[in-house]
Structure 1
């Protein structure tokens, strides 16, 4: 089914394009060369999961930025992120690494699923984990909301030990595993 890719705020897109053409913005070594030929594609809102405290309460997430894959000759080679500041959207940083290729693979897998979704990214900092969040509410504002029980989460590689990467799992099935992993010492049962 098709994915309903959200439209990034114009200021976020503009800040990435400006940064890619700026000689003062640092980037990882391979992206430093010929940065002008990098094209920001596939904007996805990045939400941060609040610390998971149990399985009875729905998880909460808040928007932290927008991530754009950076394509060279049609292939993703990096990513650029923006963040919301008091003055609006601003460029944050350029990155590379395994999450780039994993994002591309996860998006292809998501397109093969039988239902339509609005893709987002969900960060779980306590586990150094990033997931493709497939939101079931296609009309939702991409900058707000939290994972619904029927939403799918697809951990990106590398995923924490014991969590399968690039495999879609319902939020209500993955949440207990995340809860057990981030429970404070002495409180885990």
Structure 2
């Protein structure tokens, strides 16, 4: 089934195109792959990046939109990514970067294309676990910038995933959220030991 990529806000895309057209922005990006790219580079596959701020006692997730991420393609592969963020003045370019999440995102998107059900692609970041997942939302017509993971959505942890969580294995939100809740909940402080009377 086709994977739906929600349309990014036009001003966010413009900021990335402007940054790509600026030799100074590219040179200062500290992304060797982007600086050494041979041929034209294009921003593709815009994905809204949501951050999991907390998990409520009832097990619901509180998420917020952090920005939009574009994969920067040169030829047949993505060589970097560009992040944008919403500011009081509108959408702004944030940064170029590269690393393992670029390849992992491409891999997870190819995996999702082979699934039987259609999904809308998003990214969900879990900062407390240094974890990024491809969030496959079941409502393909939804506004990609809003909403929360629902029990039947899928989360695909991207490599490198935290220890004990398999990368690139799709998990239903209802299955993975309790694991994440357990990981991000601080352990209770043990009661002090009572000293025995002398």
What is the TM-score of this pair, normalised by structure 1? 0.94
Alignment length, in residue pairs? 187
Q: Indicate the structure whose relative CO is greater, using CA pairs within 8 Å and at least 6 residues apart.
A: 1
Q: Counterpart of 1:101 in 2: which secondary structure?
A: helix
Work out the CA distance in 1 between the residues paired with 2:41 and 2:160: 25
Q: Counterpart of 1:165 in 2: which secondary structure?
A: coil
Work out the CA distance in 2 between the residues paired with 1:159 and 1:185: 22
Work out the CA distance in 2 between the residues paired with 1:134 and 1:67: 16
Work out the CA distance in 1 between the residues paired with 2:20 and 2:128: 30
- Asked if structure 2 preserves the Cα contact closer than 8 Å seen for 1:20 and 1:35, the reply is no
Aligned residue in 2 for 1:181: 183
1:33 deviation in Å?
Answer: 3.0
1:30 deviation in Å?
Answer: 2.6
Work out the CA distance in 2 between the residues paired with 1:80 and 1:35: 18
Work out the CA distance in 1 between the residues paired with 2:79 and 2:37: 12
Aligned residue in 1 for 2:91: 89
Q: 2:49 aligns with which of 42, 46, 53?
A: 46
Work out the CA distance in 2 between the residues paired with 1:35 and 1:48: 34
Q: Name the larger-Rg structure.
A: 2
Q: Counterpart of 1:15 in 2: which secondary structure?
A: helix
Work out the CA distance in 1 between the residues paired with 2:2 and 2:23: 38
Which residues of structure 1 form unaligned runs of 5+?
Answer: none
1:9 deviation in Å?
Answer: 0.6
- Asked if structure 2 preserves the Cα contact closer than 8 Å seen for 1:150 and 1:172, the reply is yes
- Asked if structure 1 preserves the Cα contact closer than 8 Å seen for 2:38 and 2:74, the reply is no
Aligned residue in 1 for 2:22: 22
Q: 2:163 aligns with which of 155, 161, 181?
A: 161
The within-5 A match list for 1:141-156 is 141-156=143-158
Q: Over aligned residue pairs, what C-alpha RMSD do you find?
A: 1.6
Q: Counterpart of 1:60 in 2: which secondary structure?
A: strand
Q: 1:59 aligns with which of 55, 58, 61?
A: 61
What is the TM-score of this pair, normalised by structure 2? 0.90
1:34 deviation in Å?
Answer: 4.6
Q: Counterpart of 2:61 in 1: which secondary structure?
A: coil
- Asked if structure 2 preserves the Cα contact closer than 8 Å seen for 1:119 and 1:133, the reply is yes
Which residues of structure 2 form unaligned runs of 5+?
Answer: 190-198
Aligned residue in 2 for 1:6: 6
The worse-fitting range, judged by mean Cα deviation, of 32-41 and 99-108 is 32-41
